[in-house]
Amino acid sequence: MPSSRILVIEDDAAIRRGVVDALRAAGYDPTEAGRADQGLQAALEQTFDLLLLDMVLPGGSGWDILTALEAARPELPIIVLTACGAENQRVEGLQRGADDYVVKPFSMRELLARVAAVLRRIPSRPSRSIAFEGGVIDLDNLLVVLMDGQPLDLSEKEVEVLAFLASRAGQIVTREQLLAGVWGLNPKGLNTRTVDMQITRLREKLRDDAANPRILKTIWGRGYQFLAAAND
């Protein structure tokens, strides 16, 4: 029996319950959300094998979720559930990261067939890790381990920030990208020191000197740069 974890973001309670029940009966492990903001938070903070995404949602939209996950979780396959079968809508969704489309109303048999097909197309991924001076980041388990084998005491969000930067090693990552990719927030007009405080705490725990950084470099007026080379 399959045991893939599937996140269902759908605001219609009856449809959501039907989909969740069908997935569970087929042996999958479903998690549900009825709002865009709740669903995006779950997608960013937990590990899933597939996302079933409605496009019209309270608390945001499916398009917002596609944009955020394309930046933060590009490996996560997505099947869009929509009442709009227009070709331009389907093409735009596929261009923005969706792997398949299911137009409402749909049969559970069709949906399960598409779920199985998408999961079959996703190749098994080798474990991913990124080394830095003094340790390694396990991207799949969101864990930082020091070279002596001891895990570093970081919060889940601190590991996510570090992993987001490390997966873009050598690139300048803006605060806006971090807010969107790690916190799932729309950074437009948002005035917050959240990113800077997280970076400060990370540097303290990694014993990284901001004046002479080995791991995290501040690019003044632009953002941050992870200095170590990525080894996927």
- 72-101 pLDDT, tens digit per residue, is 788 889 999 887 655 556 555 566 668 888
Whether residue 136 has pLDDT greater than 90? no
Over residues 175-184, the mean pLDDT reads 86
Of 226 and 187, more confident: 226
Token digits for 12? 């219609």
> For residue 36, what pLDDT is reported?
93
Q: What percent of the chain has pLDDT over 70?
A: 79
The alpha-carbon radius of gyration of the chain (Å, integer) is: 19
Q: Tokens 């394309």, residue?
A: 70
**Closest to 10 (Cα-Cα) out of 43, 41, 30, 32:** 32
Mean model confidence pLDDT for the chain: 82
In this prediction, residues 96-120 reach a mean pLDDT of 87
Q: What three-state secondary structure class fits 168?
A: coil
More confident residue, 11 or 153: 11
User: d(Cα 167, Cα 226) in Å, to the nearest integer?
Assistant: 9
pLDDT exceeds 80 at position 117? yes
For the chain, the structural domain boundaries read: 5-121, 129-226
In CATH terms, is domain 129-226 a member of 3.40.50.970?
Answer: no
- Rounded to whole angstroms, the Cα distance separating 47 from 6 reads 9
pLDDT for the residue 94: 63
In contact, 128 and 140? CB cutoff 8 Å? yes
* 124 pLDDT above the threshold of 90: no
Judged against a pLDDT cut of 50, whether residue 230 lies above it is answered with no
Q: What is the pLDDT of residue 1?
A: 33
Q: Which CATH superfamily is domain 5-121 in?
A: Response regulator (3.40.50.2300)
- Look at residue 2 in the predicted model and tell me its pLDDT: 38
Quick one: average pLDDT of 148-161?
75
List the end-to-end C-alpha distance of the chain, in Å, as a whole number.
Answer: 30
